[in-house]
Structure 1
């Protein structure tokens, strides 16, 4: 029997794509959240942002929690690229002084072993326009239940500024 070069190449490349038993990534050894657990974490995230209660943060934010957002950094005069709230305690203090706002979850677009990607919007304030955003939630199960370890959040900060009663001038 003769095999064509194309058939041999296809077989060889598919064999290379399969992991060997000794090459499993460390991620496959960890507990992975289910879609239902991810939905619960997203509900907790929404409460942390829209209806903050310190007890939620105490229980559901990991001790090594960090929040990063250049969108927020522009409003609080922090350098771009730096953590917005580098610790759980800093985040808690900030949330205590922030008024709640009506964040609505549009979709949970990705659930990975320990990460969730979602889209949301918030319509409020002076302009009452929807500011759309994305959030990546990193999680851990170190405490025995799923906790939020990191938040990476970006949103339309110009619309947010208008909603807060601010304005901007476009110079083009």
Structure 2
């Protein structure tokens, strides 16, 4: 009898020390995007830049969206290191009047739980030279689907300047 009382006490105290199976099942790991979902987000990003439609931005850009790019900030005389488009609304207003650029996806290099790294190029305009860029897309899963929360993009801004018809002088 003594053995069974000790065994019961040990079992009962171990049950208190370990979470129940029900509580383990109810805990959910963060949802991570698949490579297929990442490709869909990249396709949306390319549309936002190369073939802007307001409905894409309304649906697929999160309400707390931000875009950062020192490459663009140099053209728009914004402080380096600061946001280029601090809100979804500012981004939408800018994209509505910007000319489309032919963004060509070169590769999706990394997909993390909520981030995508990609390389691209755009060849257009007066110089018709390829300007290469790197973009990191931060995402969030809301409304039951993935949305773009942040865009961090840098590209060869001197080539971009030449393609837009500008020029620069090299002085060693």
Place the TM-score, normalised by the shorter chain, in its bin: 0.7 to 0.9
The SS at the match of 2:72 is: helix
Cα deviation, 1:42-99, whole Å, max 9, x if unaligned, reads 0000000000000000000000000000000000110100000000000000000101
Match of 1:41 in 2: 41
Q: CA deviation at 1:144?
A: 1.4
Q: Secondary structure at the match of 1:66?
A: strand
Larger radius of gyration: 2
CA RMSD of aligned residues (A): 0.8
Distance 1:152 1:112 in 2: 15
The equivalent of 1:85 in structure 2 is: 85
- 1:72: which partner in 2? 72
Structure 1, unmatched stretches of 5+, are 1-27
With structure 1 as the length reference, what TM-score do the two structures score? 0.83
Corresponding pairs, count: 145
In structure 2, C-alpha distance between the alignment counterparts of 1:29 and 1:74, rounded to whole Å? 41
- Find the aligned partners of 1:81 and 1:160 in 2 and give their Cα distance: 19
Tell me how far apart the structure 2 counterparts of residues 114 and 92 of structure 1 sit (CA, whole Å). 23
Aligned residue in 1 for 2:12: none
Residue of structure 1 in register with 2:133 after alignment: 133
CA distance in 1, matches of 2:30, 2:56: 25
Q: Which residue number corresponds to residue 30 of structure 1?
A: 30
Please state whether the residue corresponding to 1:84 is helix, strand or coil: strand
Task: Name the structure where strand makes up a greater proportion of residues.
Answer: 2
Cα distance between partner residues in 2 of 1:29 and 1:130: 42
Q: 2:162 maps to what in 1?
A: 162
